[in-house]
Amino acid sequence: MTAYRSTETTAEVPAQPLKPRTHWRQRRDLQAAAIVPLVALVAAVLIGDLNAWLTLTLAGLAMGMMLFIMTSGFTLVFGLMDVLNFGHGAFISLGAFCGFSVMLSMDGWRLSDSLWLNLGAFGAAAIVAMTVAALMAWLFERILVRRVYGDHLMQILITMGGLIVAEQLIYVFWGGHDIPMLKPPAFQGGVQWGGLVFEKYRLLAVVLGGLLFIGLLLVFKRTRLGLLIRAGVENREMVESFGYNVRRLFVLVFMAGSALAALGGIMWGVYDEVITPHLGQSLMITVFIVAIIGGLGSIEGCFIAALLVGLLSNYVGFLAPKLALVSTIGLMVVVLLWRPQGLVPVSDGGK
C-alpha cells in the first residue's frame, strides 16, 4: 500500500460520513407527491359529500395502482434503452386474455365462496399470463426491437406494426368477440366500515398495487440489479464501461415490464368483468399519458402520475362526466408546462 496523502488541502474532513442534506426545493419527487393529497383535498371540497368522495378516492386509487402496474415497464424500457415501445399495449391485452382463459378454466376455484380459492385462481391466472407475456416479450425484443435501437422513427413504426400483428393474433386465438366474466364471489360486493362501504375488489387492487410498488422500490433501492437499472437509466455507456452486460439487463427489464403489463391487464379485465381485443390499444393512450406526466424513465414519477390520473379521472367523471378523458390530457398539458420533462425528471447525470 502507498503512503497516505491527503488530497483535500483546505477543507476539514470529519471522520464520519455526513448525513445528506436535502432541501425541500431539491426533492422534485416529494413536491410532485404532495400534489396527490392536494388534488384529493380539492376534490373533497368540490364534491362535498364524504361518502361519495371516499368511494371515488378508493376507485381512483385502485385505477391508479392498475395504471402504475401497466406503465412501470413501459417507462423503464424507455429510460434504460431509449426504446419507445408502442407495442406495450399488446401485452396488456395478452395478459388479460391469457388470464381470463386460465380463470375460466378453473371454475371450481373461481366460483367457490372461499376467498383463498378465489385468490388462488387469480394468482394462477396472473402467473400464467405473466409468464406468457414475458416469453412473448423476449421474442418481440429479439425480432423487432433489437434492430431499431437509436432510431425513434423506426421504433415507432416497427412497434406499431408489432401492436397490429399482436392484436390480430389475439383475434386469431381467442376470436373477435368480447369475453365476459363475473368477478369471483369473494371479490364482489363491498366491506362495511362504519357507515361507509368499500368495494372489495378496489381494496384488493390498492393493496396489490401498493405491495408491488413497495416491492419494486425495494428491488431498485436495495438490490444490485436495481442499482444497475437506475444507473443504466442515467448513463448506459458508463454501466457498459464497468463491464456489465446492459443488453441482458435490458431484455430482463423488457420481459419484466411486459409481464407487469399483463398483470395490469388481468386486474383491469377482472375489474371491468369483460375484455375486448382492443383493451390494450385503448389503455395504451392512458399509459402514454401517465408515463409522460411522471417523467419518462422515472419509477417514482410513474407511481405519482398514475395515482393522479386515476384520482382525477374519477373525480372529474363524477363532477363533469363529459370531461373525464379530456381531464387527463389537460393534466398532461399543465404538467408539461410546469415541468417539460415530467413530474420527476430522470437526472441525465452529465450524459
Residues 206-235 that bind other proteins (CB under 8 A): 224, 227-228, 230-231, 234-235
The closest alpha carbon to 167, from 275, 67, 83, 82, belongs to: 275
Rule CB under 8 A: choose which of 259, 261, 332, 343 binds other proteins.
332
Q: Taken in order 97, 79, 301, 329, is the CA torsion positive or negative? A: negative
Rule CB under 8 A: choose which of 37, 108, 123, 176 binds other proteins.
176
The closest alpha carbon to 125, from 259, 287, 280, 282, belongs to: 259
Instruction: For other proteins, give the closer residue by CB, 78 or 315.
Output: 78
| CA–CA separation, 274 and 265 (whole Å) | 11
Which set of grid coordinates corresponds to residue 199? 368495494
Residues 258-287 that bind other proteins (CB under 8 A): 281-282, 284-285
What angle do the packed helices 50-81 and 224-234 form, to 10 degrees?
80
What residues are paired with 327 via a beta bridge? none
Minimum distance of other proteins from residue 121's CB (angstroms): 25
10 lies in the binding site for other proteins (CB under 8 A): yes
| CA–CA separation, 70 and 88 (whole Å) | 9
The closest alpha carbon to 42, from 27, 57, 55, belongs to: 57
Stretch that binds other proteins, among 55-63, 119-127, 163-171, 183-191 (CB under 8 A): 163-171
| CA–CA separation, 266 and 270 (whole Å) | 6
Instruction: For other proteins, give the closer residue by CB, 87 or 184.
Output: 87
Q: Check if the beta carbon of residue 36 is closer than 8 Å to that of residue 315.
A: no
Rule CB under 8 A: choose which of 191, 329, 334, 338 binds other proteins.
329
162 lies in the binding site for other proteins (CB under 8 A): yes
Residues 120-139 that bind other proteins (CB under 8 A): none
Residues 141-160 that bind other proteins (CB under 8 A): 144, 147, 152-158, 160
Please report which residue ranges of 242-319 form alpha helices under DSSP H.
246-272, 279-294, 299-319
Residues 285-304 that bind other proteins (CB under 8 A): 285, 288-289, 291-292
| CA–CA separation, 310 and 293 (whole Å) | 12
25 lies in the binding site for other proteins (CB under 8 A): no
Grid cell 420481459 is found at 255
Tell me the number of residues near other proteins by CB under 8 A: 77
1 lies in the binding site for other proteins (CB under 8 A): yes
Residues 74-103 that bind other proteins (CB under 8 A): 84, 86
203 lies in the binding site for other proteins (CB under 8 A): no
Rule CB under 8 A: choose which of 111, 173, 180, 188 binds other proteins.
173
Stretch that binds other proteins, among 44-52, 99-107, 169-177, 201-209 (CB under 8 A): 169-177
